[in-house]
Amino acid sequence: MIRILFIELNSIGNEDIYETANAMTYYRDRVEIVKFPFDINTDRNDKAFISNLKEKLSEDPVDFVMSFNYWPVISTACNEVGIKYAAWVYDNPAVNLFSHTLINPCNYVFLFDSQMYELFAGQGINTVYYLPMAAAVPRYDRITVTEDDRKKWGGNISFVGGMYTEGHNFYDRIEDKLSDYSKGYLQGLMDAQMQIYGFNFIERTIPEKVMEEMVDVLGLKPNVDGVESYEYLYGNYVINRKITAIERCDIVKKIGKKFGINLFTRDESFGADGVSNRGRVDYYDEMPYVFKTSDINLNITLRSIQSGIPLRAMDIMGCRGFLLTNYQEDLLRFFEPGKDFVYYESQQDLMEKIDYYLEHEDERRQIAGNGYEKVKRDHTYALRLAEIIDTVL
């Protein structure tokens, strides 16, 4: 029996981990999940939480602790009692990774973005590993799509995701307080970055004067127990988020005007010609129907995810959906463009490819089927959980 203490937080993927563990055997061992609740707002040095977790681990022995994303306070507790801690990170940016606790010998931190992995591994940190996300293919395969489902969820083109207009946008909070010089510089920087896929230069190109002004206005500063830079914080949490907001809004509006698009997002106030805003969809109970019944499923990656395969892309292919995405380097590690999925290199290229694939249904279905078969073969939660266990034990 392999016993895993799973840190239960409000995260997508929890139920798929539970189902996978219950159904799988690791060689001849069964896998048992023990749940432990966690509030993501817990302070990094919360002594009460550390004490409670250590007490749980002493009373109920497990082989290792596991969580989605990396939490320094959990690493501290595990390190103090000598229990291994596996964290599967699906966010980027992920400021907690810059905590000095990352080098704790108890850690096995699995990063879905190869750029992020190379950043830490390149500095000699040996507690990090590269591990892409997965898709819950068995769960998706159990879904039967009816004609009513197609009418409710389907369409020519769909995008599921945040528009970053929902309130958590630091740039909009500070824009009116910046000098004309800083606003002009940052606007030019964002305009330039939006023309380029596959390389993000924002962190490297914010002048000291502009950075100081943003810090004075917003007040966002590195953690006292972390090594993250101002460039990392403002480049990713402020500028790259704003770029993503501009880009997603612009693309959705252009597609809506020419082809029409179904938008599934938290911001129900967003509207434009040809855009059918359906509001938020539930990840487990509704989202798979969108991917299964849309002719083209669009992925527009958050700009701070520099190389990694977004979970959305895995889920689309795992649902046998046709994936049309911006260029992401890690996709080419496992999938063949034009055969398993399609990527665009510019907004003009995107519009041309939408036009083409809407007219070529057989080719579109073949690509969707190829992507599905590769995800089913190589990118399931069962395979990922086995890889984590292999590495940790």
Residue 300, pLDDT score? 98
Measure the CA–CA gap between 299 and 343, rounded to whole angstroms: 9
User: In sequence order, which residues have a C-beta less than 8 Å from that of residue 262 and are 6 or more positions away?
Assistant: 155, 157, 158, 159, 276, 278, 290, 294
Query: Could you tell me the pLDDT band of residue 106, with boundaries at 50, 70 and 90?
Result: very high
Fold of 138-378: Rossmann fold (3.40.50)
Strands of 43-132 (E only): list them: 64-68, 84-89, 107-111, 128-130
Q: Rounded mean pLDDT of the chain?
A: 96
This prediction's pTM: 0.96
**What are the b/e assignments for 64-102, b being 16+ CB within 10 Å?**
bbbbbbbbbbbbbbbbeeebbbbbbbbbbbbbbbbbebb
Q: What number is the average pLDDT over the span 309-331?
A: 98
Assess whether pLDDT exceeds 70 at residue 167: no
Residue 275 scores a pLDDT above 70: yes
In which band, very low, low, confident or very high, does the pLDDT at 317 lie, cut at 50, 70 and 90? very high
pLDDT of residue 37 exceeding 70: yes
C-alpha 216, offset from chain centre: 30
Residue 33 CB neighbour total at 10 angstroms: 20
The whole-number average pLDDT for the span 327-345 is 98
**What percent of the chain shows pLDDT beyond 70?**
99
3-state class (DSSP) for residue 271: coil
d(CA 179, CA 215): 13
* Phi, psi angle pair for 233, to nearest 5°: -60, -50
Q: What pLDDT is recorded for position 133?
A: 98
Task: Tell me the torsion sign for CA atoms 363, 254, 195, 287.
Answer: negative
Q: Is the pLDDT of residue 28 over 90?
A: no
- Using the structure block, give the residue that is written with the tokens 């966010």: 91
Residue 185: half-sphere exposure toward Cβ, Cα within 13 Å:
15
- Residues 238-253 have a mean pLDDT of 97
pLDDT at 308 over 80: yes
Query: Which tokens hold the place of 257?
Result: 């005007």
Phi and psi at 299, nearest 5°, equal: -120, 125
Q: Above 90 in pLDDT, residue 168?
A: no
pLDDT per residue as tens digits for the range 194-207: 999 999 999 999 99
Q: What is the pLDDT of residues 171-201, one digit of tens each?
A: 999 999 999 999 999 999 999 999 999 999 9
CB atoms under 10 Å from CB of 362, counted, come to 7
pLDDT score of 26? 75
Asked if pLDDT for residue 134 goes beyond 90, the answer is: yes
What per-residue confidence (pLDDT) applies to 24? 86
Q: Which of 295, 303, 302, 348 is nearest to 324 (CA)?
A: 295
Question: Residues 144-161: what's their mean pLDDT?
Answer: 97
Percent pLDDT > 90 in the chain is: 95
Question: Mind giving me the DSSP string for 169-221?
Answer: -HHHHHGGGS-HHHHHHHHHHHHHHTT--S---TGGG--HHHHHHHHHHH---
pLDDT at 210: 97
pLDDT by residue (tens digit) across 208-242? 999 999 999 999 999 999 999 999 999 999 999 99
**What gap in Å lies between CA 217 and CA 122, rounded to an integer?**
33
User: Percent helix, strand, coil in the chain (nearest 5)?
Assistant: 50, 20, 35
CATH number of 2-131: 3.40.50
Confidence of residue 166 (pLDDT cuts 50, 70, 90): low
CA 75 to chain centre: 22
Can you state the angle between helices 241-258 and 347-359, rounded to 10 degrees? 40
The token pair at 55 is 């007490």
The token duo for 235 is 């480049």
Q: Which two tokens stand for residue 178?
A: 């910046």
Domains 2-131 and 138-378 share a fold: yes
Residue ranges of domains in the chain: 2-131, 138-378
How do residues 63-77 score in pLDDT, each as one tens digit? 999 999 999 999 999
Q: What is the pLDDT of residue 25?
A: 82
The whole-number pLDDT of residue 122 equals: 97
- Is residue 133 within 8 A of residue 311, CB to CB? The reply is yes
